[in-house]
């Protein structure tokens, strides 16, 4: 029996084509979110009152993208924060002032790289063409977060964009607090806001959407080995459907189309919002188990449209049972043009040298560039993005790997993500050498029993 493990966007199976469900003051020791901050983790799109000090019970995020509007007939209480978001988005729609230009990463974050209101953007899809532009016009896509009207409690189509703006305003305040007082100055609410922000940076992106579509098309085709004669008929039978010639031809045509172009997988924008918010919350809780440290860099640091970067001993090698947000030894987030936030796995010794050398900064920039989906961002005076060798995106953004279960019950299906450096012999090795111990401790074990798998599933998808 095969069971999917959610370490890196695990597939779910359903009767229809399935869909998947972020400065000068430096700390002297690693800082981790308090237990209270983690137990109170909330995205602001939940029913019920906000999660505070006296109520640590986990609340269930709203279900978005189902056949009916979430809460339309459930009579569930709406939190004051969600009510404000719904009201603000409705007013924008009624007044004809809906925001249409949506940033792929927050505007306030891009501002940190700006000089004279300009940043340099490098487009990896256009032979690394580099240009200078105002942050307001960088990494913008029209209606990128727009959802069908009524997706959330009969709300406006821009409810997701309004929620993101609210989340970003909280994150901007956290960044200011870190700039002035360091990580040690953050209170429980600020840790909550930082963890949600980091989780959302993973799930709001083009790459996350593309991976979801790939897993719902080519990924399912590979998972079920549907290229074998009779495989589609067998799949329909297992799902309780009649394997009629018409239905078999329909599925075969579907997979022919999406295998040729994974982006053509039909995925409702409301469901994409649901995927993003639910996954962001699970990822935020996983990130909360790490040790946080802020480092300065000797040379300018770049960022990209996928700014949460997993670091491995060899960036060109994929380790199926030791990767992802759950298992990566180190995760980095460019905090500014001269600072990086490093998140060390709980069993990794945290780095103690708080200023990276010029070479370490270069290797870190190579790792960041290799994580980009399309765009790099840097100081306008820098042109590093156009000079670095950066591999092409992988045709398959995810690998499907069987991991045997010692109990003999079957195997897990692990889905490690493939980044640009995977498979490249000249990929960075131990980027930021001073962060790596002589022997890297093994990652936490992946689930091995049905009970462990159920706990993981609940943690990621509830």
Q: How far apart are CA 447 and CA 455, in angstroms?
A: 9
Span 127-151, pLDDT tens digits: 899 999 999 999 999 999 999 999 8
Q: Is the pLDDT of residue 57 over 60?
A: no
Give the HSE-up count for residue 233: Cα atoms under 13 Å, Cβ half-sphere.
Answer: 7
Span 339-365, pLDDT tens digits: 999 999 999 998 778 899 999 999 999
Beta bridge partners of 129: 123
Q: Is the pLDDT of residue 401 over 80?
A: no
Mean pLDDT of all residues in the chain?
82
Q: What pLDDT is stored for residue 29 in this prediction? A: 52
Span 162-180, pLDDT tens digits: 999 999 999 999 999 999 9
Q: Torsions phi, psi of 387, nearest 5?
A: -100, -25
What is the band of 7 on the pLDDT scale with cuts at 50, 70, 90? very low
Q: Three-class SS of residue 311? A: strand
Q: How far apart are CA 343 and CA 289, in angstroms?
A: 9
Contacts of 424 (CB under 8 A, 6+ apart): 315, 316, 391
- Tokens representing residue 31 in the block: 């800082």
In angstroms, what CA-CA distances link 339 with 174, 184, 329? Answer: 15, 16, 19
Q: Three-class SS of residue 218? A: helix
Q: How far apart are CA 66 and CA 9, in angstroms?
A: 20
What is the band of 399 on the pLDDT scale with cuts at 50, 70, 90? confident
Q: Average of pLDDT values for 32-44?
A: 54
- Tokens representing residue 78 in the block: 């709406």
Q: How far is CA 289 from the centre of its chain?
A: 16
Q: What pLDDT is stored for residue 47 in this prediction? A: 32
Among 36-40, 211-215, 356-360, 424-428, the range scoring the smallest mean pLDDT is 36-40
In angstroms, what CA-CA distances link 414 with 268, 292, 405, 408? Answer: 25, 27, 12, 17
Q: Is the pLDDT of residue 388 over 80?
A: yes
In angstroms, what CA-CA distances link 436 with 5, 302, 359, 415, 430? Answer: 27, 22, 15, 25, 7
Q: Average of pLDDT values for 54-72?
A: 28
3-state helix, strand, coil in the chain (%, to 5): 40, 15, 45
Q: Average of pLDDT values for 400-428?
A: 76
Q: How far apart are CA 163 and CA 147, in angstroms?
A: 12
Nearest to 6 by CA among 291, 281, 272: 281
Instruction: Tell me whether residue 82 is exposed, middle or buried, using C-beta atoms within 10 angstroms of its C-beta: 0 to 12, 13 to 18, 19 or more.
Output: buried
Span 200-245, pLDDT tens digits: 999 999 989 988 899 889 999 998 899 999 999 999 999 899 999 9
Sign of CA dihedral 205, 207, 213, 215: negative
Q: Average of pLDDT values for 113-125?
A: 97
As separate numbers, helices (DSSP H) first and strands (DSSP E) second, the chain gives 14, 14
Quote the pTM value: 0.82
48: left (phi over 0), alpha (psi -120 to 50) or beta: left
What is the band of 4 on the pLDDT scale with cuts at 50, 70, 90? very low
Helix (H) or strand (E) holding 230: none
Q: Is the pLDDT of residue 67 over 50?
A: no
Q: Is the pLDDT of residue 199 over 90?
A: yes
In angstroms, what CA-CA distances link 224 with 9, 87, 118, 240? Answer: 17, 45, 49, 16
Q: Average of pLDDT values for 352-380?
A: 95
Q: What pLDDT is stored for residue 25 in this prediction? A: 29
- Between 23 and 189, residue with greater pLDDT: 189
Q: Read out DSSP for 93-123? A: HHHT----EEESS-HHHHHTT-BTTBEEEEE
Helix (H) or strand (E) holding 356: strand 355-356
For the chain, the distance separating the N- and C-terminal CA atoms, rounded to the nearest angstrom, is: 23
Q: Average of pLDDT values for 317-323?
A: 70
Q: What pLDDT is stored for residue 451 in this prediction? A: 73
Q: What pLDDT is stored for residue 316 in this prediction? A: 93
């Amino acid at each position: 029996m095969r069971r999917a493990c959610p370490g890196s966007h695990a597939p779910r199976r359903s009767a229809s084509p399935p869909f998947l469900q972020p400065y000068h003051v430096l700390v002297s020791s690693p800082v981790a979110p308090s237990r209270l901050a983690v137990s109170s983790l909330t995205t602001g799109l939940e029913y019920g009152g906000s999660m505070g000090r006296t109520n640590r019970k986990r609340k269930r995020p709203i279900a978005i993208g189902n056949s009916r509007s979430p809460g339309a007939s459930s009579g569930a209480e709406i939190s004051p924060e969600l009510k404000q978001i719904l009201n603000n988005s409705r007013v924008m729609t009624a007044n004809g002032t809906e925001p249409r230009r949506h940033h792929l990463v927050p505007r306030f974050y891009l501002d940190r790289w700006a000089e004279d209101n300009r940043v340099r953007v490098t487009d990896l899809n256009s032979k690394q063409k580099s240009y200078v532009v105002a942050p307001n016009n960088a990494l913008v896509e029209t209606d990128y977060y727009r959802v069908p009207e009524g997706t959330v409690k009969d709300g406006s189509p821009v409810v997701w964009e309004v929620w993101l703006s609210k989340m970003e305003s909280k994150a901007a305040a956290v960044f200011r607090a870190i700039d002035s007082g360091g990580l040690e100055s953050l209170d429980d609410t600020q840790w909550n806001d930082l963890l949600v922000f980091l989780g959302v940076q993973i799930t709001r992106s083009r790459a996350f959407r593309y991976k979801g579509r790939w897993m719902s098309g080519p990924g399912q085709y590979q998972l079920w080995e549907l290229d074998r004669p009779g495989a589609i008929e067998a799949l329909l039978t297992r799902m309780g459907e009649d394997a009629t010639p018409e239905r078999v031809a329909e599925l075969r045509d579907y997979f022919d189309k999406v295998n040729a172009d994974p982006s053509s997988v039909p995925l409702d924008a409301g469901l994409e919002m649901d995927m993003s918010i639910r996954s962001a919350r699970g990822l935020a809780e996983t990130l909360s188990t790490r040790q946080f440290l802020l480092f300065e860099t000797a040379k300018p640091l770049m960022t990209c449209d996928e700014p949460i970067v997993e670091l491995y001993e060899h960036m060109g090698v994929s380790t199926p049972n030791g990767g992802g947000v759950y298992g990566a030894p180190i995760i980095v987030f460019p905090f500014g043009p001269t600072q990086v936030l490093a998140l060390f796995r709980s069993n990794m010794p945290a780095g103690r040298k708080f200023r990276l050398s010029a070479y370490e900064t270069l290797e870190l920039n190579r790792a960041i560039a290799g994580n980009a989906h399309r765009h790099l961002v840097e100081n306008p005076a820098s042109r590093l993005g156009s000079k670095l060798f950066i591999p092409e995106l992988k045709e398959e953004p995810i690998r499907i790997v069987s991991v045997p279960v010692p109990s003999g019950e079957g195997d897990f299906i692990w889905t490690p993500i493939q980044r640009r450096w995977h498979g490249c012999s000249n990929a960075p090795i131990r980027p930021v050498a001073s962060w790596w111990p002589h022997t890297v401790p093994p990652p936490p074990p992946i689930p091995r029993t049905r009970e462990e798998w159920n706990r993981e599933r609940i943690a990621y998808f509830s």
